[in-house]
Structure 1
Amino acid sequence: MSDKLTHECGIALIRLKKPLSYYQNKYGTPLWGFTKLFLLMEKQHNRGQDGAGVAAVKLDMPPGEQYMFRDRCVEANPLDRVFKRIWSDYNQKVAEGTIHPEFADTVKKNFDFGAELYMGHLRYGTSGGYSLSSCHPFYRRSPWQTRNLALCGNFNMTNTAELNQSLITMGQHPIFATDTQAILERIGFFLDEEHEDIYRYLRTRGLSGEEMSRRISEDLDLTRVITKAAQQWDGAYSLCGLIGNGDAFVTRDPSGIRPCFWYQDDEVVAFASERAPLMTVFDAAIEQVQEVTPGHVIVIKRRGTITDTQVTTPLPRAACSFERIYFSRGNDQDIYSERKALGGQLADQVLDATNHEWGNTIISFIPNTSEIAYFGLLHSLRERRRDEVKKILLEAQNENRLTENLLDEVILRNWPRGEKIVSKDIKLRTFIGQESTRNQLASHVYDITYGTIRPGIDNLVCVDDSIVRGTTLRKSILRMLARLQPKRIVIASTAPQIRYPDCYGIDMSELGKLIAFEAAISLIKERGQTPLLQEVYQLCRDEVARNGTVNHVAKIYDGFTPEEISARIAELVRPRKLDWKGELSVIFQTIENLHKAVPNHTGDWYFSGNYPTPGGYRIVNQAYVNYYEKSEGRSY
C-alpha cells in the first residue's frame, strides 16, 4: 500500500501453566514466558509503531507486595525501548545480587516482570492521539485484587458517545478520551458489581479477611462480566484483559472483524492477533492454533481452568479482508496463498491494459508488501502464455509450419518479464518542520532501477496492494516511474476501489480523501449532475437522525461503471507538468474476484458499502454530511 494507513493493532497474552521454577529447570530461565511475550510482539511489530506496552500479574503474592505491573512507550521504536528498559532493570539487579537467575523465587520477588501472566500491545493510533495516556494497556486500580483491571485491544467502536452516556446513566463521570477508556470503565463497572455481589453474600458467612479474598477470587465470573459489558458494543474488537487476582480473558466481536488466535499445551496458553507468530514462537503445527470464535470470551481462571463461552448474539461473519490484502504478515500459509491469488486474478485486466504485448511488458511491484501478489500475477500470466504457446505449437504442427524462426520469435522470447523496478530506500525522518521540505523528501523515499525499461517500447505494470487516497502515486511514484520513459504505465491494485469510509479501525474515515470518491464527484460535476450532491446530503442527514441502516452514499457511484471511475482516477493521479507523454492506466480488483481469492474474509464494506453493524451505516452517512458541510475530521 503506497498510501500510508494505520490500522489493526496487535495483541499478545501469555499464561504460564507451571511455576517459574519449572521453566528455569527445563529451559534455563525463569523468564521463559516473558521472552515468549517479546517474541510474539516482535513477530507482530508490523501491527503498530505508534506505541507499545506490556503488563504482568504475579500469582500468590503475599499482602503488602505488588503483584501487577505495567510499562509503556510512545517514543520512536517503542517495542525495543520497552523491552530494553525492562531487561536493563533485570540485568542491573542481577549485577547487584538482588536477583539470582538460577533461583526463580528471587526473580519473582525482585523483578517486576517475573510473573506467570503477561499481556502486550502494539498500537497504531486511529483516535485518541499519540500520547502516553492513549497507549495500551489501560489500567484500573483498586486495593482489591479482583477489581484491578488491565486492558488492551485491537478494536474500534462506532458508538463511543453512547457508551460514555451509558456510563453517565450508571452514575459514573467518564473522561471523554477514547473508546478504550469507555470500554475499560464499562468492563470495570460490571467487574465492581460482580465483586460486590460476591462480597455481600460472603460477609454474612463469618469468613476471615484472607478466606474472603480467596473466595471472591475463586467465585469471580468473568464470563458474566463480559456478557453484561458487551451488550452495547458496536464495532470491531479483539480484547484481552488481566485481573489482579490472576484471572484473564480474551473476547472477539460477533462478526469476527478483528482477528485473534490462540494456542495451548501443558506449559502455556497464548493468544495473538495473527496465527503465524504463535506457530513460530511455540513451534506449533497449524492445526494446533485455533481461531477465537467470534462473539465468544475465553476465560482463564487463576486456578488454570479455561472456558470458552458465547457472550454476544452471533452476526454474519465479516472478517476484515484488508487483513489478507495488506495488514497481516504474509508468512501465514493461507495469507500467502490468498495474496498470490489476488495478484493472479488481475491477469486478464493486465493483458487487456497492455494489449497482450508479452515481449514488451515488464511486471513489478510497489511497495514491498505487494511482492507476493506480484508473484501470483506473474504465475497467472505465464500460465496464460503457456496455453497460447501450446495452441500455436499444435496449430503449427498440424499445418506443417513449425520452423526455428517461429520457435525463437513467437514462442520462446515472448514471455512475461519480472523485474524489481522500485525499492523503498529509507524511512523518512519527520524532524523537518517545513511541510514543503517534508513533501520533497517524501518523494525520495522510493527509488528506481535504471536501465530495466526500453524507453518508448516497454509497458511497465506495477502491482500495488491498494490505492486509497492516491497521494503517493500523484506526488512521487508516478513521477519516479516516468523517468524510465515506458510506453505505458499500468498501476494494478490487488484491492477493489475503496469507495466508503472505514469505522472499524482503518484510518480512512473522511470520504473526501478517498480517490474513488473524488473521481465520482468529478464525473458528477462534469456531467452536470450537481443537484445529486444536495439530494444525497439531505438523505444522509435524515438517515443519521433516525439511526437508519441505508447507505445513501452509494447513489454517488450508481451512475458510473467501475471502468469509468478507474479511468478518472488515472487522470486525477497523473502528476501535472510531467515530462512523459505515455499512457497511464489504473486497474482495480473486482469485488467478485476479491471473494474468490479471499473466500473466508468477507468483510468488504469499504469496497461495497455493506457494513456489518448498524454503526457502520451511521458513520458512512455522517461522513458524507461532513464532506458536504466541509467539516474536517473523523465521522465517529
Structure 2
Amino acid sequence: MLPMAEIHHECGIAAVYQLPGDVHPLCPEGLPEQASRLLPRMLLDIQNRGQLAAGMTAYHPGRDQILDTHKEIGTVSEVFRLSHKGKAESLMQRYSGVAAIGHVRYATCGAEDRNYAQPYERHHLEKRKWFAFAFNGQLANYAALKEKLLSEAEYHLARENDTEIIMHEISRELSGDRRPRLVDVMKAVCQRFDGAYSLVLLNAQGDMLVARDPLGIKPLCYALEGTLFAAASESVPLLNLGFQPESIKSLPPGHAITITGGKFAIEKFADSPRSAHCFFEWVYFANVASTLDDRSVYLSRTTLGEELARLELADGGVPLDENTIVVPVPDTSKAAADAMAHRLRVPSREGLIRNRYSGRTFIEGSGNRKNKAESKYTPLREVLGGKRVFLVEDSIVRSTTMRVLLNRIRTLGGAKEIHVRVACPPIIAPCFYGIDMSTVDELFAPKLMRGRPLNDEVQAEMAASLGADSLRYLPIESISRAIRLEPNKLCQACITGQYPTDHGQQLYQIALENVGKGDSASRTYEVQHTLTFAQ
C-alpha cells in the first residue's frame, strides 16, 4: 500500500485464531466462534496507523459465507458501529468466526473509497482458492509488476494499487491443480516482490498465514498462549487483549506463521541477509507503549531527547534560565521532550493542547493541511507567554504543521523566543515502502539544504524560513544509538538516500530527476508507471 501532513503512515494489520481444543479464557463468551470479536478491539489499538478505512474478514465453517468480509471508509469505531450497542452486536453476530483478520488503512496508493479498503477477498468455488488477505507496506516494484501482468493476454487490473497485485500473484500460485503449502506460496511470490510487506491471509479451509518480508521493514508481533493465537503490527493490541508480555514476540524477517488443519507452525520462507527495520516506527509511527523487535518505542524516544539535550549542552547557544521551558508537539514528541528537559534541568510543559477530535493531519488524506493544523493544536498563553521555548518535534517532513504552530505559539501563545529541536535528522529523500512522501519536491529539508551538508548556516536558514529563532536536527548517528540497532540493520533511506532494495534505489533516482519538474502532485511510483507505458 502506499501515502503523509506531516506524514501519512502506511496501515496496520491484525489476526486472531481460536485453535482447536479447550477454548482460551480470553476468547469472548467462552465460544470459539466468538474469537472474531477480538478483532475490532485489536484494530482500535493500531488506529494510529491509519484512519481512512477499516475492515475484517471472519472464518466460520458453519455458514454459507464461510469467509465474510466487512469493511468501510472511516475509523474503527465508525466502521464497526462501536458507539451503538445494538448495531455493533449485530455486526459481531454476522461476522462471527473462530478466526479473523483485519486492517486499518491510510492510502499510500489508490483512491480513498471503499473498494480500496482491506481485507481484499477473492471468491472461488474451491475453498483452498477462496481467500482474504491484508497487508502493511508497499511494493517498490509495483509499476514493473503491473506492466508484466497487463502484458499477458486477458489480464485486467481494476484498482491502482499494489494490494491487487499481491492478490493476483498469490492467486497465480494457487491456480490449476497445484496444492502448495501457504509457506510455499510465500516462497514463490517473495521472489517477485521488492519492498515492504507484512501480511495476513485467511482461506475458506480455515488456514491462516502471517508473514513478514525478508528485510523486516514493517513490524509484526504475535503471541500464542494455549489455544489462542493473535498477531498485529504492534505489540500493544496483544498486551491489551490479555497476553502476557513474555508471550509477545516479533516475527523474524523472512518468516511465516501458518495455521493449517488447526496446527500452528513457524517457518522461514526466505533468507534474510540483513534486516532493514524502518527507523521511523520508533521515532514517530508506533504507539509509544509498543515494543518492536525487542526495542521499546518509549525508551528509544527518551534517548532521542537525551541526544538533543547533549547537543544543547555541548555548545550552550541558548540560555537556560527560569524563563526557559521545553514544549512537546503532542503526542509523539512528549517522551523526547520530557527526556530533553530532564537532562537540561528545565521544566517540560504542555504548552500545546491537541484537539483529539480533529484527527491526525497526516492520516486524513486530501484537503487543506494548513486549516487542519490550525484546528489541531491550541497554544496555552498561560504556559507560553514571555517564555523562551524549546519546541520539540519528532520530524519535519513538509513543514506545513510546523509553520502554523510557530505562528500560533508566537501570536496566540505570546512566546518570547521559539527554538525548534527535531528528534530526527532531516528528511531528505522519499519513502517507497509505505509512507506517503514519494517526491523530493514535497519535502522541506532538500529545498534549503540544496546538496549542502547540515551545518549551522543551513539550520539558521531553515529556522528563518519556518519563523523560528533557531532550529537544530539530530545527526544521523543518533538514530541507531537511540534504537540500539546497528545502522546496517535499519532502513534509514529517507535520511540518507540509501535504500535497502534495488527498486527503492531506482525510484529515488527517478525522484531526483523529477525535482523541479512540477510532478509533485504525483507520487514517484505513479510518475514511473506513466513513463513506463509512454515508452
What's the offset of the Cα at 1:477? 3.2
What is the deviation of 1:26?
8.8
Aligned to 2:473: 588
**Alignment pair present for 1:82 and 2:80:** yes
| Match 2:460 to one of 534, 542, 567 | 567
Q: 1:206 maps to what in 2?
A: none
Cα separation, 1, equivalents of 2:248 and 2:301: 21
Question: 1:502 aligned to 409, 431, 435, which one?
Answer: 431
Q: Please give the alpha-carbon distance, in whole angstroms, between the structure 1 residues aligned to 2:461 and 2:152.
A: 52
Contact 1:493–1:589 (CA<8 Å) still a contact in 2?
A: yes
Q: Does residue 307 of structure 1 match 2:265? A: yes
Q: CA deviation at 1:81?
A: 2.5
Structure-to-structure mapping, 1:297-446, within 5 angstroms: 297-301=256-260, 303-332=261-290, 334-351=296-313, 352=315, 354-382=317-345, 416-425=346-355, 427-428=357-358, 439=370, 442-446=373-377
Aligned equivalents of 1:353 and 1:611: distance in 2? 36
- Distance of 1:445 and 1:85 partners within structure 2: 23
Deviations along 1:99-122, one digit per CA (max 9) or x if unpaired, are xxxxxxxx9xxx432211100100
State the AA in 2 paired with 1:629: K
Query: 2:40, 2:76 within 8 Å by CA — same for their partners in 1?
Result: no
Cα separation, 2, equivalents of 1:80 and 1:427:
13
Distance 1:3-1:254 versus aligned 2 partners, 3 A rule: same
User: Please, what is the CA RMSD of the aligned residues?
Assistant: 2.8
2: CA distance, partners of 1:140 / 1:446: 43
| Aligned pairs for 1:93-132 within 5 A | 111-132=93-114
Residue in 2 aligned with 1:387? none
For residues 497-525 of structure 1, the C-alpha deviation after alignment (integer angstroms, 9 at most, x for no partner) is 1011111111111211111111123xxxx
Instruction: Confirm or deny: 8 A CA contact 1:566 1:586 kept in the other structure.
Output: yes
**How far did 1:134 drift?**
0.7
Higher strand share: 2
SS in 1 for 2:94: coil
CA distance in 1, matches of 2:274, 2:220: 17
Aligned AA (2:248) = V
CA distance change for structure 1 residues 8 and 590 in 2, over 3 Å: closer, same or farther?
A: same
Contact 1:468 1:514 survives alignment (8 Å): yes
Of all paired residues, the percent bearing the same amino acid is 27
The answer on 1:141 being equivalent to 2:101 is: no
Q: Tell me which of 482, 485, 494 is aligned to 1:606.
A: 494
| Distance of 2:270 and 2:51 partners within structure 1 | 31
Q: Is the 8 A contact 2:384 2:409 kept in 1?
A: no
Q: Is the 8 A contact 2:6 2:399 kept in 1?
A: no
- Deviating more after overlay: 132-141 vs 485-494: 485-494
* Counterpart-to-counterpart distance in 2, 1:124 and 1:289: 26
**SS state at 2:310 partner:** helix
Q: 1:448 to 1:86 in 2, by over 3 A?
A: closer
Report what 2:533 is aligned to: none
Q: 1:564 to 1:317 in 2, by over 3 A?
A: farther
Q: Secondary structure at the match of 2:55?
A: strand
CA distance in 2, matches of 1:353, 1:493: 17
Deviation, structure 1 residue 597: 0.6
Deviation of 1:493 (Å) = 0.8
Take 2:214 and 2:524, find their aligned partners in 1: how far apart are those partners?
23
Supply the AA of the counterpart residue of 1:117: A
Q: Which has the larger radius of gyration?
A: 1
Q: Which amino acid aligns with 1:634?
A: R
Aligned to 1:461: 390
SS of residue matched to 1:620: helix
Structure with bigger helix share is 1
Find the partner of 1:154 among 136, 141, 147.
136
Please give the alpha-carbon distance, in whole angstroms, between the structure 1 residues aligned to 2:213 and 2:393: 30
Structure 2 contact 34–96 (Cα < 8 Å) conserved: no
Task: Give the drift of 1:356.
Answer: 4.0
Q: Quote the Cα distance in structure 2 between the aligned partners of 1:28 and 1:222.
A: 29
| Aligned partner of residue 197 in structure 1, secondary structure | coil
Does the 8 A contact of 1:52 with 1:79 survive in 2? Answer: no
| CA deviation after TM superposition for structure 1 residue 496, in Å | 0.8
Letter in 1 for 2:311: Q
| TM-score, scaled to structure 2 | 0.87
Q: Which of 162, 167, 175 is the equivalent residue of 1:192?
A: 175
Q: Distance in 1 between matches of 2:279 and 2:26?
A: 42
- Residues 502 and 562 from structure 1, CA distance in 2 versus in 1: closer, same or farther, beyond 3 angstroms? farther
Contact 1:424 1:447 in 2 (8 A): yes
Per-residue deviation, 1:88: 4.1
Q: Distance in 2 between matches of 1:442 and 1:72?
A: 28
Q: Which has the higher contact order (CA 8 A, sep 6+)?
A: 2
Return the alpha-carbon distance in structure 2 between the equivalents of residues 464 and 602 of structure 1.
Answer: 21
Work out the CA distance in 1 between the residues paired with 2:27 and 2:459.
62
Alignment gaps of 5+ in structure 2: 362-366, 526-535
> 1:161 deviation in Å?
1.9
SS at match of 2:479: helix
> Could you tell me how far apart the structure 1 residues matched to 2:106 and 2:505 are?
24
The separation in 1 between residues aligned to 2:154 and 2:223, in whole angstroms, is 37
1:177-233 Cα distance to aligned partner (Å, 9 max, x none): 21000000000110124xx135xxxxxxxxxxxxxxxxxxxxx51111121112110
Q: 1:228 to 1:79 in 2, by over 3 A?
A: farther
Secondary structure, aligned partner of 2:56: strand
> CA 1:350/1:482 → structure 2, altered by over 3 Å: closer, same or farther?
farther
Q: CA 1:443/1:10 → structure 2, altered by over 3 Å: closer, same or farther?
A: same
- CA distance in 1: counterparts of 2:457 and 2:33, whole angstroms: 59
TM-score normalised per structure 1: 0.74
Distance 1:604 1:300 in 2: 34
The residue identity in structure 1 corresponding to 2:170 is I
Contact 1:23 1:31 in 2 (8 A): no
The question of whether the paired residues in 2 share the 8 Å contact of 1:23 and 1:30 is answered with no
